[in-house]
Amino acid sequence: MTDEELKKRMDAFHDLWVEARLCMDDCVDSAETEHFEEEAASAKHAVEEAMAAYSDLVYDLAREETKEEEPKNDAARKRSEDVRRTNGLKIEQLKAELASLLSTTAR
């Protein structure tokens, strides 16, 4: 994967992450209204899209790691680790916030 392709995919993931956060905010704002169920479904879908984009990216980077030869392998491994380190917590945060939001409002 070229640096340009990685940047495009990271930008796409970031856009999906932002959209998921906005959808969750909308869901919170619509609590106890007739629009809540629709907003909750939108938030869940947005989180799933962000998670899928991240998973696909990490998978592709991991495949790249295994097919590259030394010293390219080290560079591919570093890129993969950088992506996981800088974005893995974002995904965990999205999942936790969505779970909390849905469990809190389901009561």
State the pTM of this model.
Answer: 0.84
Query: Is 39 in contact with 27 (CB distance < 8 Å)?
Result: yes
Res. 45: pLDDT tops 80: yes
Share of the chain above pLDDT 90, in %: 56
Q: Which of 58, 48, 62, 57 lies closest to 17, judged by CA?
A: 48
pLDDT of residue 35: 84
The pLDDT mean for the chain works out to 87
Environment class of residue 58 by beta-carbon count within 10 Å: exposed (0-12), middle (13-18) or buried (19+)? middle
9: pLDDT confidence band, cut at 50, 70 and 90? very high
Query: Is 50 in contact with 18 (CB distance < 8 Å)?
Result: no
Query: Is 60 in contact with 107 (CB distance < 8 Å)?
Result: no
Res. 20: pLDDT tops 90: yes
Q: Specify the higher pLDDT residue, 91 or 68.
A: 91
pLDDT of residue 72: 63
Summarised one tens digit per residue, pLDDT across range 57-88 is 999 988 887 775 665 677 778 888 899 999 99
pLDDT of residue 53: 96
